[in-house]
Amino acid sequence: MDLDPQLAALRPLGGFFALSTTPLGGGGREPARPLPTLARAYAAAPAAAPAAAPAGAHSDPLGLRIGKVARALRAPEPRVAASVAQQGLAARLWSVALGCAVLYDRQPDLAPGLLRWDPEGGVPDDLWLTEVRACGPADAETLAVTVLHGHLEPLAASLRARHRLAAGLLRGNAASALAGAARQLDGWARAHGRPDAAARSRVLTAGLLAHPLLAGTGTLTGTAFRRRSCCLYYRAPGGGVCGDCCFVRPPRSSPHAPSG
């Protein structure tokens, strides 16, 4: 089925899959202030603004998001917030791309320059696609080019320039976010009598996890994923280990999580 201008088929899947395709201000109006593109977020220099930049300052959108996550988690160190922020954005991007591939059999152009981002926003109003246009076949290779190379590599480079984050940890976050999106999509497909969609999601997910940038990050069994690294969430006050973590329980004293 062809992509529709609102990508309406994604909405029933939940907030992480939904994508605004009209200005976030609603009613066809521009937002109260211009939103940066993800391309700008990835390219912003670490020194452009501190993580605790004043609300509304978009000179460093990535730093602003990390600061927001740090405050929400009461993170003891910036790299914890940076890891969680990266995994959250990765989950959004994988969800949209995988959902379109499965439900439309088409892949929209999700280039960082076309996606505007509200670093203070929550799902689904954090992302706005300024133009809906098909960019290629809905296969694992196209999804890898769109999400891994187009977004997650430049995002990881920017985060590593700012914070002491291992490359393996960020790859593990990317794989975990993909597996989580696939699990959500599989559940929806089964609940709505769409075994074709569930099967398509599994094939695409397996193909993506075999990509050189994600290979070796964990083990996929059915829709269950066990990663070989840790996102560091356990280091936040009250935080525990995630369902796919390499740890069975939070380490008692370890300054560094495995990097995968």
pTM for the model stands at 0.89
Mean of the per-residue pLDDT values of the chain: 88
Is residue 259 situated within a structural domain? no
What is the reported pLDDT for 32?
Answer: 56
Is residue 29 situated within a structural domain? yes
Is residue 242 situated within a structural domain? no
Quote the percentage of the chain above a pLDDT of 70. 87
What is the reported pLDDT for 57?
Answer: 47
Is residue 250 situated within a structural domain? no
Is residue 136 situated within a structural domain? yes
Is residue 128 situated within a structural domain? yes
Is residue 112 situated within a structural domain? yes
Question: What is the SS3 assignment for the chain?
Answer: CCCCCCCHHHHHHCCCCCCECCCCCCCCCCCCCCCCEHHHHHHCCHHHCCCCCCCCCCCCHHHHHHHHHHHHHCCCCHHHHHHHHHHHHHHHHHHHHHHHHHHCCCEECCCCCCEEECCCCCCCCCEEECCCCEEECCCHHHHHHHHHHHHHHHHHHHHHHHCCCCHHHHHHHHHHHHHHHHHHHHHHHHHCCCHHHHHHHHHHHHHHHCCCCCCCCEEEECCEEEECCCCCHHHCCCCCCCCCCCCCCCCCCCCCCCCC
Q: What confidence tens digit (pLDDT) does each residue in 78-99 have?
A: 999 999 999 999 999 999 999 9
Range of the domain at 69: 8-46+56-235
How many distinct structural domains can be found in the chain?
1
Q: What confidence tens digit (pLDDT) does each residue in 34-68 have?
A: 789 999 999 976 654 444 444 444 689 999 999 99
Is residue 3 situated within a structural domain? no
Of 52-66, 181-195, 215-229, minimum mean pLDDT range: 52-66
What is the reported pLDDT for 59?
Answer: 81
